[in-house]
Amino acid sequence: MQSSNPFLRLIRHEAFGGILLMVAAVAALVVANSSLSDAYETALNAVLEISINGTGLQKPMFLWINDGLMAVFFFLIGLELKREMREGKLKNPRDVVLPGLAAVGGMVVPAIVYTALNWGNAATMSGWAIPAATDIAFALGVLALVGRRAPVSLKVFLLTLAILDDLGAILIIAIFYTADLHVEYLLLALLPLAGLLVLNFLGAHRVAPALLLGVVMWVLVLKSGVHATLAGVITAFCIPLVDRWGKSPLHALENALTPYVNFLILPIFAFANAGVLLAGMSVADLFQPLPLGIGLGLILGKQIGVFGIAWLLIRAGWARLPHEATWLHIYGIACLAGIGFTMSLFIGGLSFSDPVLMNAVRLGVLGGSIISALLGFVVLMIAPRATQDAKTAPDPAPAPAAAA
């Protein structure tokens, strides 16, 4: 039964999370270029220290947001991944063939586009992974704005693609964005990990002990030089899907966390990371290798990678179009996959510490994401309308196994 309260209807709409992200990004852009810019920078650079007898963590608020709050975001991604692998869209390998390989193409081709435009520039080459990411909340938000014009199977396809894209981003961060390694802290991190594995094995109903061990592991991983958000993913995989009483701590925790992540953590991250400084900037700055590589990677690279791989698989008979979807629908989804935003800004922050380069990153990410969102929306609006209602549409048929 739908609520008569317009505010409740708004916040429950699938597009609300994406709209909130966009509002936070616009607010950051306005504040960064207003008389409040000094206060904005001062707040982000304010140092917060948590220590005992001089030993602990000392970081500016910007890094507490990117390393701390985003660990909660990655924790939620980990919960979603485990649920999907055990009982959802990633359980049957045949259902993963089309969106899975499309996700791979959507990561590889944008990285190639960026690398081609920044080849030989040692200062910017480390940003090759920035356009490889897709923002789930933003992309699903735009798809929700299309409404019932798009078949239900498209949401399943985009969600699976974006989840696998996030898994790829996690692996990229773990392998390529690790700082100087301190092995002693990694070895110490095995202790809380062992505790988490025991709790998972026992099917512990209470999640508080696991979360406490996860925080300890986060601190140790952060000190080791490996990016600490990975501790969030590992902790999530150690939350039991079903406890010894037959209940699901994972489902309960995922449902409880989702609104806080979508409506609080991600907007805070967007506000802290999307403040592009426009003073002294000209149109020519858009065509510098760094922002151009990111922008074209998101716009063209994602389209070519996602749509190209999907076309090859379907033409070869190894997969089939999602139920009621046309090639125009798939192209629209390929455009939406170019909305990098949250993950792209996050990887940009790992790639560059120079404020000038980060400003160029923000310019490329925002430009590429906005154009991708607009293109995807327009394409899906002109695509043939779905004939079945969301409530009656069957699950998409699994793709046939690849020929030997």
Question: What are the sequence ranges of the domains in the chain?
Answer: 17-382
Rounded CA gap, 339 and 324, in Å?
24
Lowest mean pLDDT among 82-96, 174-188, 363-377, 390-404: 390-404
Report whether pLDDT(162) > 60: yes
Report the pLDDT averaged over residues 174-188: 83
pTM, two decimals, is 0.80
What pLDDT does 137 receive?
76
Burial of 393 (0-12, 13-18, 19+ CB in 10 A): middle
What pLDDT does 11 receive?
65
Residue 18 or 26, more confident: 26
Q: List, for residues 309-338, the tens digit of each pLDDT value.
A: 999 999 999 988 888 899 999 999 999 999
**Whole-angstrom Cα Rg for the chain:** 21
Model confidence band, residue 88 (pLDDT cutoffs 50, 70, 90): confident
Q: Which of 287, 269, 404 is nearest to 349 (CA)?
A: 269
- Are 242 and 82 in contact by the 8 Å Cβ rule? The answer is no
Give the range with max mean pLDDT: 109-113, 140-144, 205-209: 109-113
Chosen CATH of 17-382 out of 3.30.70.1150, 1.20.1530.10, 3.40.50.300, 3.40.50.720: 1.20.1530.10
DSSP state of 263: I
CB atoms within 10 A of CB 269: 23
- Are 21 and 341 in contact by the 8 Å Cβ rule? The answer is yes
Query: Phi and psi at residue 376, in whole multiples of 5°?
Result: -60, -45
Q: What is the mean pLDDT of the chain?
A: 86
Residue 193 or 1, more confident: 193
Report the pLDDT averaged over residues 378-403: 59
What pLDDT does 399 receive?
39
User: Is 331 strand, coil or helix?
Assistant: helix
Rounded CA gap, 48 and 17, in Å?
29
The helix (run of H) or strand (run of E) holding residue 375 is: helix 355-382
Give the range with max mean pLDDT: 157-166, 270-279, 367-376: 367-376
